[in-house]
Amino acid sequence: MKKPTISDIAKIAGVSKTTVSLVLNNRNINVSEKTRSKIIEISNELNYIPNGIARSLSTSRTETIGIILPDIVNPFFSEIARAIEDTAGKLNYNVILCNSDSNNIKEEKYTKLLISKLVAGTIFISGGGSRNSIDFFKKNNIPVVFVDRYADPLKDFSSVFCSNEEGIFEAIKYLYDKGKRNIGFVNGSMKLETSKLRLKAFDKISKQLDIYSKSLIYNSIYSVEGGLIGTENLLNSNPKIDAILYSSDVMAFGGIKTIKRKNLKIPEDISVIGYDDISFCEYIEPELTTIRQPIYEMGEQACKLLIDIIDGKTINKKIEFKPKLILRGTA
Amino acid sequence: MKKPTISDIAKIAGVSKTTVSLVLNNRNINVSEKTRSKIIEISNELNYIPNGIARSLSTSRTETIGIILPDIVNPFFSEIARAIEDTAGKLNYNVILCNSDSNNIKEEKYTKLLISKLVAGTIFISGGGSRNSIDFFKKNNIPVVFVDRYADPLKDFSSVFCSNEEGIFEAIKYLYDKGKRNIGFVNGSMKLETSKLRLKAFDKISKQLDIYSKSLIYNSIYSVEGGLIGTENLLNSNPKIDAILYSSDVMAFGGIKTIKRKNLKIPEDISVIGYDDISFCEYIEPELTTIRQPIYEMGEQACKLLIDIIDGKTINKKIEFKPKLILRGTA
């Protein structure tokens, strides 16, 4: 069986292909109501779907966008991807998913693939150092919107972020007000601009509050294992530690495991604060206190911004959200 | 700036478009090594990417497949999607992501969109009752592989599943051997064939072991809330309950919350077993005992099977995996 075409409908209806095409596209054409209904009926009967690729080629534009993200299994990214796909779907775009594992070679492979598929634009959650991929998009005139993770140089690109400084400040101030003076920080990979900004903010606020100690900082990776290892290290080198801030919720889950295995109580012995507010924060008991990034809104706004750029409605725009401390059971 | 084309390269190199095209496609052509390198150099300089859509139209085939799944935020589906995308990427296919929320109207909308984009095939995790979408794919001659969730009628389609009966049997037998005699079952939506098969298996094994009671079964939905509500109901109606099997890990997380909030101990007072073995099982403490479905392998095999069908290497195939009880801290 072949995909049904306009020719098939024309043949069965006994009219020309042009007539079928005009009727199905709701264009002005002088045909009887009977012929019109007959054409529509046959097209339904055959489950006819117009060829969107043919149109794409003539307009040099597809209603397709790409998302390059590190790993869809990480709930932070799956929540952003969901928001992007929802928003794209409402605007009649569809979304090609690319998992880069924050690897520049994979990013570049996907970049070329997306360009060859004539995507109208791309949302890019960079693994850091994505210079080549960024060049490819630029030289091929494909609009890109960066989300969450910065890429250098960003000035030519649109982006959607949530203030890292404010998030770190809010968490540390809360813990300080609760009487905590030995606050550890398990941060993500220093390859990423986001981690650098958060570390800078942590240094700044700790020094302001006069509780700074270099030994309270551990640069790990954004995963459960990263949280496990970071916590193990901080607990061993700082017996007086009374709170730990994690640079992601997923890391905080790893941290909680380590703390519980040492028979320390959360939040009595050690308070824990995560970062992101993925939906899993509410799946555990006690639920995770965290710095909320408005993940869904970030994905939604990134997609709207990208499609506005594609439609020529705007050119280069930065959108910054504010984070918010969400109090639950761990701090 | 426009996307660079073959014409741009030809102009700069001072050769014909045909020469550029033949050189870049590694075809036999009698040109000097100097001209060949010059053409390749210019194409790199311009970050030229061939237009894959033009080729798709002439071959009526894209190297793109669709995935229709309920919700990418659900870790079971994000893990399957990751496996599918990894496998597709290795075979030079890319993947369009569609979230249906198990809603037939959304499924149908995405079905039409995928067909219009000339996808070479689709992997479908049905929300149940997807008759219309299935018809559209069939009449448009688009191969479909079903994964995890059955759709009726399936006989014409290829599918990848994990035995539901064996999974339920293994869990219940384990609990029975541990001395549990009041084993509850929080199942998913009865709209889904998977839930029906699991309920049937639960009934069968409970009756065989002579521990069956209708009041120990609660049909809920596949979510944390579904697990919370199901557990609340079972605990209230069965004070002697000593173990609960959940039809998904995510439901089990909800159940654990309810059990902990009632100050009951896991596994001492109530043993808990989940279903799926998503990576989050290891994020909580104690880690979740569960029935493992080989999620990654299921996605991988589904993708390979689909591409084999696209390539005409096979036609209709059912692949069934075996589940496995993974012992951790909750049972």
SS3 (DSSP) at A61: coil
Q: Give me the mean pLDDT over the A66-74 stretch.
A: 96
- What is the topology classification, in CATH, of domain B59-162+295-321? Rossmann fold (3.40.50)
Which H or E run contains B170? helix B164-177
The encoded tokens of residue B292 equal: 């493992």
| Ranges of CATH 3.40.50.2300 domains, chain A | 59-162+295-321, 164-292
Give the closest residue to B167 by CA, choosing from B123, B191, B189, B198.
B198
Give the closest residue to B149 by CA, choosing from B158, B138, B157, B161.
B161
Tell me what ipTM this predicted complex has. Answer: 0.89
Which residues have a Cβ under 8 Å from the Cβ of B48 and sit 6 or more positions away? B4, B5, B6, B8, B9, B24, B42
A251/B contact by beta carbon, under 8 A: no
| Selected residue with higher pLDDT from B5 and A154 | B5
Chain A contact probe: residue of B48, B285, B303 with most A CBs at under 10 A: B285
**Gap between the Cα atoms of A111 and A242, Å rounded:** 45
Tens digit of each residue's pLDDT (9 = 90 or more) over B188-233: 999 888 999 999 999 999 999 999 999 999 999 999 999 999 999 9
B216, burial (CB in 10 Å: exposed 0-12, middle 13-18, buried 19+): buried
**pLDDT (0 to 100) of residue B24:** 87
| Selected residue with higher pLDDT from A30 and A123 | A123
Q: Give the Å distances, CA to CA, from B172 to B244, B274, B293.
A: 9, 12, 16
**Gap between the Cα atoms of A48 and B139, Å rounded:** 8
Predicted confidence (pLDDT) at residue A153 exceeds the cutoff of 60: no
Predicted confidence (pLDDT) at residue A52 exceeds the cutoff of 90: no
| Selected residue with higher pLDDT from A169 and B283 | A169
DSSP structure class, residue A280: G
pLDDT bracket for residue B157 (50, 70, 90): confident
Predicted confidence (pLDDT) at residue B61 exceeds the cutoff of 70: no
**Residue A140: φ, ψ to 5°:** -95, 10
**Beta-carbon neighbour count of residue B165 at 10 Å?**
15
**pLDDT (0 to 100) of residue B111:** 95
**pLDDT (0 to 100) of residue A28:** 77
**pLDDT (0 to 100) of residue B151:** 61
DSSP structure class, residue A142: -
Give yes or no for a cis peptide into B4 (omega within 30° of 0): no
**pLDDT (0 to 100) of residue B14:** 93
Mean pLDDT, chain A, whole residue set: 92
**pLDDT (0 to 100) of residue A145:** 96
| Ranges of CATH 1.10.260.40 domains, chain B | 6-50
Predicted confidence (pLDDT) at residue A198 exceeds the cutoff of 60: yes
**Taking CB atoms and an 8 Å cutoff, what residues of chain A touch B328?**
none
**Taking CB atoms and an 8 Å cutoff, what residues of chain B touch A284?**
253, 257, 283-284
pLDDT bracket for residue A175 (50, 70, 90): very high
- The verdict on a CB contact (< 8 Å) between A50 and B75 is no
**Residue B192: φ, ψ to 5°:** -100, 135
**pLDDT (0 to 100) of residue A222:** 92
Q: Give me the mean pLDDT over the A28-48 stretch.
A: 88
pLDDT bracket for residue A89 (50, 70, 90): very high
B17-26, B58-67, B119-128, B244-253: which has the minimum mean pLDDT? B58-67
pLDDT bracket for residue A54 (50, 70, 90): confident
**Gap between the Cα atoms of A309 and A120, Å rounded:** 10
**Gap between the Cα atoms of B15 and A33, Å rounded:** 55
Predicted confidence (pLDDT) at residue B154 exceeds the cutoff of 70: no
Q: Does domain B6-50 have CATH number 1.10.260.40?
A: yes
In chain A, the percentage of residues whose pLDDT exceeds 70 is 96
**pLDDT (0 to 100) of residue B127:** 85
A1/B contact by beta carbon, under 8 A: yes
**pLDDT (0 to 100) of residue B300:** 98
**pLDDT (0 to 100) of residue A5:** 87
Q: Are A198 and A291 in contact (CB under 8 A)?
A: no
Closest residue on chain A to B257 (Cα): A285
Angle between helices B75-90 and B249-261 (to 10 degrees): 150
In chain B, the percentage of residues whose pLDDT exceeds 70 is 96
**Beta-carbon neighbour count of residue A10 at 10 Å?**
18
**Residue B180, min C-alpha distance to chain A (Å):** 25
Which residues have a Cβ under 8 Å from the Cβ of B272 and sit 6 or more positions away? B243, B244, B246, B252, B255, B256, B259, B266, B288, B289, B330, B331
Q: Does domain B164-292 have CATH number 3.40.50.2300?
A: yes
Q: Give the Å distances, CA to CA, from B295 to A81, B77, B122, B323.
A: 20, 9, 18, 10
Closest residue on chain A to B250 (Cα): A283
B140/A contact by beta carbon, under 8 A: yes
pTM: 0.90
**Residue A243: φ, ψ to 5°:** -165, 150
Tens digit of each residue's pLDDT (9 = 90 or more) over A233-276: 999 999 999 999 999 999 999 999 999 999 999 999 999 999 99
